[in-house]
Chains A and B, each alone.
Chain A
Amino acid sequence: MVEFYTSLHPVVQGVLKGLAVILVIFPIGGACSMAERKVSAWIQGRPGPNRAIVPWAAWIPILGPFLQRLGIFHVLADGGKMLFKEDALPGHVNKFYFVLAPIVAMIPALTTVVAVPFGAYLDAAGKIVPLALANVDIGMLAVFAVSSLGVYSLILAGWASNSKYPFLGGVRASAQLISYELSMTLSVVPLFLWVNEPGREATLGFARVMEFQSRAGFWGGMWFVFLMPVSAFIFLTALFAETNRQPFDMPESEADLVGGFHTEYGAFKWGLFFVAEYAAMLIGSGVFTLLFLGGWNPLPWVPLADVAVWLHLADKPMLLGALSIAIFLGKVLALIFFFMWVRWTVPRFRYDQVMEIGWKKLLPLAIANLLAYAIGIAVLPK
């Protein structure tokens, strides 16, 4: 099977890999929407959605009711509802841009996956090879460049809806996303200064970052979250803002703007915004995991290569790849749970507070952090 796959044309291989990744991201997005409802419910002392069940699942003795309590079948019911309900197009909107906006929302969400490695295996020479759709040297830059296009969909949606609440939502979205992108980008610069050691080819790829988190010794095996906690904090905060999660849900603002930029949307077009938001959360969490939480290394100071030796998986690339993907996905899902947990913990910021935190606190902090690490790296004996 492996021989057949490698004998295929590279384009066909690429398409198959891309489809495989999309086929993983979409169900995880759906599961996240249910997880969001369940976690919200649990934190509020409710059991959450637990009624829907399909007949064949009801026949399974213990597993069926368990899945029913977990609300698994509500995902199917919700998806079915969203697909089949009437997709109303309001009369007062700019139709072309109105339809374009949700499509534009999906593009950065699905494009950034390409540059994010999600697992690794050891090749015949015992060298770690990252699993990614495109393991490119511009990794982080590509993610930033493409994900910042996401703001266009919100502005387009807000503008094309031609009514006040979506318009305000769109305006807020543009201001918020652009402000926090600055601090986000600045927060990872020290990290890439650190990994671009002298005498090696410069890179912005995730492979080098992972290599630095997989080295031997105390400083080598340390995850960057310990080495650069301020960077990690700024990145995480900015990530909350970039993915429009509470407490930075200004573009949506259910409390004051009805639904913000997607007030006029319904059915599948709304669903696309929703999936795009969860995909952005997934990718953002993935990037955070890679940069600061040691990616596919199970524990700090325990790189994947060591685990492969202990479990005698070094010569079984398939199994090791699956294990590394499982570790990586586990961390990403834990981060997504953290997103939901924070949602019910921190009250929403007011719009002026969002701007103040972004410009007066995070940005100076990010610059100071960058300067401190730049000087530190310059004077540090290599």
Chain B
Amino acid sequence: MAIIPLERKPLTFAERTYIPQVMAGLRTTWQHLVRPKETLEYPEQRPAIPPGYRGVPTLVKDPNGREKCVSCQLCEFVCPPKAIRITPGEIPPGAPADHVEKAPQEFEIDMLRCIYCGMCQEVCPEEAIFLQNQYSMTGYTREEMVNNKARLYELGGTLPDQHHKWDVKKAAEAHGNDRH
């Protein structure tokens, strides 16, 4: 790139009096004064959450209201700050979803440790854990800041499931496929 020396022009008399510049500045600030305000008045007005936002991690159910988590504990192992603690449990035989075999007995996410990295969501083979839109977690005690299983499902709700993995699996089983 060529170096272009620019000659600095000496200030004109009008510029040295500051007055035209100050006038132009006053005009600009006046325009800002009368312009609508930019502020989002937070508790009343909420920001629009963009898609792909990583909020509080939650557990979700499939469209049929069934528990998706199979307590494989991959999220617990991948979690960098070790915020997730899962107590695995068996699904008793005879229950409607007994072919899934396992479900978490207790599932705790310590929101004081969570760094909202989203690796749990990325690693989950069952698409059971999602970082959703909630961005404001408050509490008065440390215990309040640990989300247990009931709370996680309450926060998560039901998300549409694109794959219908369980339904597909059940249908395959009905056609005579053995468990794989």
Contacts and interface: CB of A to CB of B under 8 A. Distances in A.
Interface of A: 39, 42-47, 341-342, 344-346
B136 interface: no
Contact of A345 (B22, B35, B38): B22
Given A345-B22, A346-B22, A46 B29 contact: no
B37 A42 contact: yes
B37 A46 contact: yes
Contact of A42 (B22, B33, B41): B33
Contacts of A43: 29, 32-33
Chain A: interface secondary structure?
A: loop
Given A345-B28, A345-B29, A45 B41 contact: no
Given A345-B22, A346-B22, A45 B29 contact: no
Interface residues of B, number: 14
A45 B26 contact: no
Return the 8 tightest CB-CB contacts between A and B, nearest first. Answer: A345-B25, A45-B38, A345-B29, A42-B33, A46-B39, A47-B37, A43-B29, A43-B33
Contacts of B22: 342, 345-346
A341 B26 CA distance: 7
A126 to B, nearest CB: 41
A46 B35 CA distance: 10
Contacts of A341: 26, 29-30, 33
A344 B30 CA distance: 10
Given A342-B26, A345-B25, A39 B39 contact: no
Contacts of A42: 32-33, 37
Contact of A47 (B25, B33, B39): B39
Nearest to B27: A345
Given A42-B33, A47-B41, 14 more contacts: A42-B32, A43-B32, A44-B32, A45-B32, A45-B35, A45-B38, A45-B39, A46-B37, A46-B38, A341-B26, A342-B22, A342-B26, A345-B26, A345-B28
Interface string B12-28: 00000010001001101
Contacts of A47: 37, 39, 41
A43 B25 CA distance: 12
A315 B32 CA distance: 46
Contacts of B25: 345-346
12 contacts: A45-B37, A45-B39, A46-B39, A47-B37, A47-B41, A341-B29, A341-B30, A341-B33, A342-B22, A344-B29, A345-B29, A346-B18
Contacts of A345: 22, 25-26, 28-29
Contacts of B29: 43, 341, 344-345
A278 B34 CA distance: 25
Interface in B68-95: none
Given A46-B39, A346-B22, A39 B28 contact: no
Contacts of A344: 29
Q: Which of A42, A44, A345 has the most CB of B within 10 A?
A: A345
B28 to A, nearest CB: 7
Contacts of B41: 47
A327 to B, nearest CB: 24
Contacts of A45: 32, 35, 37-39
Contacts of B28: 345
A39 B26 contact: no
B179 to A, nearest CB: 62
Contacts of B38: 45-46
A129 B71 CA distance: 92
A345 B38 CA distance: 19
Nearest to B28: A345
A370 to B, nearest CB: 19
A43 B37 CA distance: 9
A121 B24 CA distance: 40
Interface string B27-57: 0111011010111010000000000000000
A272 B17 CA distance: 35
B23 to A, nearest CB: 9
Contacts of A44: 32
Q: Which of B22, B29, B39 has the most CB of A within 10 A?
A: B29
B93 to A, nearest CB: 59
A44 B31 CA distance: 10
A47 B41 CA distance: 9
